């Protein structure tokens, strides 16, 4: 087919309209259309499901926050801007950052890793209960919540909108080192004023579970639920921890906040974020986990990776790259 064939009849109409100095010409015999329906402008439910061996993994979208690029450090602002631009991100108005949680049906337990932020950070977040229901479960079905750490965007979603437990039948587990930091009243009292709300939110988020005797801390190496083990990943916070589900080829690592800025930190793992408790340790942990995930070809779930935040880490000649999973027709991906 030659190029002129592509022009007719629409192309011809445009040329004719240009020649006549008007914006539209109705060609004789051109099909006429009824007015289209209104645009929907809604989004699909925020969940994405896949099977990992016998485990059913459902990524849940809590919403989005904007991260100020000035919070990224460890490289010059020009470098950071260049890395953002390479991913078609502007960055001048903040960088869109997802907040994800992961619901894993292990066969014996329904486990939620992290709980989102509820309404603590404004109206753009707090959609985990809604998306969990859309995914076919009820918050009351969750028997175990594992917290990667006690920052509000992972723990405030433990609270129902009227206070009380959003997951009324769940036991909440947090790493001992994490609880020892955020729940220690002396540490809270001695923290800079800007940090005070974070200590308070950590305490508030677990309060009803503590009261019900359903908040538990664990030491490294302690068993949690069958088929799940904790992976210490300290640095972002003192007890920050990932969770490894399954074994062998059927493994998922939910790594929490190893990455906040996919556009910059895969290429340059030494880029840190202002609110790391210990940047140097967070960077060392990120490098170690990237190397391990790439080497073992681990399926990863990340709390702040573009939703659904599931994929693999690929080693590049310098740095790493993120390879997201592809949407599948069924949960098995086929």
Any bridge partners for residue 241, and if so which? Answer: 232
Nearer to Zn ion by C-beta: 56 or 276?
276
> Are the beta carbons of 148 and 157 closer than 8 angstroms?
no
Its sign, for the CA torsion 215, 277, 118, 324, is negative
Which of 84, 46, 45 has its CA nearest to residue 308?
A: 46
Part of the chain binding Zn ion (CB under 5 A), chosen from 147-155, 159-167, 194-202, 309-317: 147-155
Residue from 56, 114, 178, 257 touching Zn ion (CB under 5 A): that is: 257
Q: How far is the CB of 226 from Zn ion (least distance, A)?
A: 27
Number of residues that bind Zn ion (CB under 5 A): 2
**276 sits near Zn ion (criterion: CB under 5 A):** no
> Are the beta carbons of 188 and 196 closer than 8 angstroms?
yes
Strands (E), the chain: 47-52, 55-67, 72-73, 95-105, 110-113, 144-146, 171-175, 215-218, 228-232, 241-247, 250-254, 272-273, 299-301, 310-315, 320-324
**153 sits near Zn ion (criterion: CB under 5 A):** yes
For residue 41 the two structure tokens come to 């402008």
Nearer to Zn ion by C-beta: 157 or 208?
157
Q: How far is the CB of 153 from Zn ion (least distance, A)?
A: 4
Q: How far is the CB of 251 from Zn ion (least distance, A)?
A: 23
Nearer to Zn ion by C-beta: 56 or 257?
257
Q: How far is the CB of 298 from Zn ion (least distance, A)?
A: 20
Q: How far is the CB of 303 from Zn ion (least distance, A)?
A: 5
Nearer to Zn ion by C-beta: 49 or 304?
304
Part of the chain binding Zn ion (CB under 5 A), chosen from 10-18, 24-32, 145-153, 187-195: 145-153
Burial of 68 (C-beta count, 10 Å sphere; 0-12/13-18/19+) = exposed
Q: Summarize as ranges the residues that interact with Zn ion (CB under 5 A).
A: 153, 257
């Amino acid at each position: 087919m030659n190029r002129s064939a592509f022009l007719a009849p629409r192309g011809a109409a445009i040329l004719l309209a240009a020649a006549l100095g008007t914006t539209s010409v109705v060609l004789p015999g051109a099909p006429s259309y009824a007015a289209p329906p209104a645009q929907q402008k809604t989004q699909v439910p925020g969940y994405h499901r896949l099977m990992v061996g016998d485990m059913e993994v459902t990524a849940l979208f809590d919403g989005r926050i904007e991260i100020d690029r000035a919070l990224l450090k460890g490289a010059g602002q020009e470098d950071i801007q260049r890395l953002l631009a390479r991913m078609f991100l502007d960055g001048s108005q903040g960088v869109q950052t997802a907040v994800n949680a992961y619901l894993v049906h292990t066969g014996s337990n329904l486990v939620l890793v992290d709980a989102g932020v509820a309404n603590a950070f404004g109206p753009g977040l707090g959609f985990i209960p809604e998306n969990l229901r859309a995914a076919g479960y009820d918050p009351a079905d969750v028997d175990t919540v594992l917290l990667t750490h006690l920052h509000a965007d992972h723990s405030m979603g433990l609270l129902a909108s009227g206070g009380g437990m959003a997951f009324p039948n769940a036991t909440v587990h947090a790493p001992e080192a994490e609880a020892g930091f955020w729940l220690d009243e002396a540490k809270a009292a001695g923290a800079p004023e800007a940090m005070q709300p974070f200590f308070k939110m950590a305490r508030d988020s677990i309060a009803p579970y503590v009261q019900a005797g359903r908040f538990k801390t664990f030491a490294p190496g302690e068993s949690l639920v069958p088929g799940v083990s904790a992976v210490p990943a300290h640095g972002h916070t003192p007890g920050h921890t990932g969770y490894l589900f399954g074994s062998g080829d059927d493994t998922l690592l939910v790594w929490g906040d190893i990455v906040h800025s996919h556009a910059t930190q895969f290429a340059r793992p030494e880029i840190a974020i202002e609110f790391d408790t210990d940047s140097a340790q967070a960077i060392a942990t990120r490098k170690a986990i990237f190397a391990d995930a790439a080497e073992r070809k681990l399926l990863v779930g990340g709390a702040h990776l573009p939703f659904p935040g599931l994929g693999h880490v690929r080693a590049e000649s310098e740095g790493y790259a993120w390879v997201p999973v592809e949407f599948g027709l069924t949960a098995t991906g086929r």
